[in-house]
Amino acid sequence: MTDSNTAQLPVLLKGLHDRLVSELGIARTVVAHPGTKGGLSEDCWIAMLRNHLPARYQVSKAFVVDSKDRCSDQIDIVIHDRQYSPFVLNLNSALYVPAESIYAVFEVKQEMSGDEIQYAADKVASVRRLHRTSLPIPHAGGTYPAKPPQHIIGGLLCLRSGWSPPFGGPFELAVANVAEQGRLELGCAAEHGVYEIDYSSTEPPRIVRHTNSGPLAFFLLRLIARLQNMATVPCLDVMAYAQWLDR
């Protein structure tokens, strides 16, 4: 008999995983057109993150811009601030988000491979190389000093891994060979597990593999934990962007 006073967390978390895996699998199996298939997969991941991340985080497909008039590649999933970021430019289907507001960026692919890891790393690097401003923050007792721009989380999200085992030698080689600005610290192959990479402690980087049941739910919880550790994005210099109005 089930205790009515328990939340049944194992069932709830496994249900979250099963639902998204089913949606991703349908997109992969039923939709033939690669572009449409990719768009549906991105929508599934975005919907999951929007539904389960705290409200302070916005989840979008977007370009990232900086105050020096530079722009990233279009990124499948951008997790950015809307509480303290004063503007986001939405031009029909093209969304532009200031670099200072970014917490994390992810690329979405059907299957994890060496080529897709390099592709995702290049996309992540196009965001991390952007300039980010930071201003002191006035408060009732004085002024907090300007906060240094924090590290932006980067990763790759897939339905499955193309390798067997999913995160074995070929995966290790692929993630070790990406350039520093494109490092992919956190990612998920929904059918196989979650990976986390610590590039700072050892050479080659230390890889932690999570292959427990319900990897999508585990990925979501690990992402939230990382976002909590980052606290709030810096206070951006709005007038650094306003200078372009006089050009």
Which amino acids are annotated catalytic?
Answer: 76, 107, 109
How many of the other CB atoms lie within 10 Å of CB of 42? 19
C-alpha distances in Å from residue 183, one per residue of 29, 168, 199, 225, 227: 30, 18, 8, 19, 17
- Kindly list the distances between the CA atom of residue 77 and the CA atoms of 58, 104, 231, in Å, as whole numbers in the listed order: 10, 8, 20
Omega into 204 within 30° of 0, i.e. cis? yes
Provide φ and ψ at 178, rounded to 5°: -75, 150
CB 156 within 8 A of CB 183: no
Residue with tokens 């402690």: 201
